[in-house]
Amino acid sequence: MKYLVLDNNNLILGWGDNPKSEHQASTSDAIPEYDNTTQSIYWENKQIVVKNDNQKIAEKQVRIATQYQRDRASQYPSIADQLDKIYHSGIDAWKTDIKAVKDEFPKPE
């Protein structure tokens, strides 16, 4: 027997082998596999239901679309190093370094 911990919308927040809270359901059904980045799992009509979650899907699409920004940020030199490059080697050398990172992690079309 599994005890499902539910929120007010019957979204399953977790489960375990022992009862732990007032707002819960019990089932002997297996917990289905689901993608927690795009789906949510609910208790409906005394059964476990997996649904696509439009908000999670939208958030995942934004994360995918902006991954290049995080990749670039981790590869750019620090601001101090960039300013040092400009001072010692000029703006064109700095642009070359920045362009190399941008080329390695292009912005999606």
pLDDT in tens, the chain (109 residues): 889 999 998 999 989 888 877 788 999 999 999 998 899 999 999 999 999 999 889 989 999 999 999 999 999 999 999 999 999 999 999 999 999 999 999 998 8
- Listed by start position, the domains of the chain span 2-53, 66-104
In sequence order, the 6+-apart residues with CB closer than 8 A to the CB of 4 are 12, 14, 15, 24, 25, 26, 27, 43, 48
| pTM of the complete model | 0.57
Q: Which residues of 27-45 are buried (b: 16+ CB within 10 A; e: fewer)?
A: eeeeeeebeeebebbbbee
d(CA 38, CA 13): 15
Which residues does residue 3 pair with via DSSP β-bridges, in sequence order? 16, 26
Nearest to 5 by CA among 22, 80, 38: 22
Q: Indicate the SS3 state at residue 51.
A: strand
How does DSSP classify residue 22? S
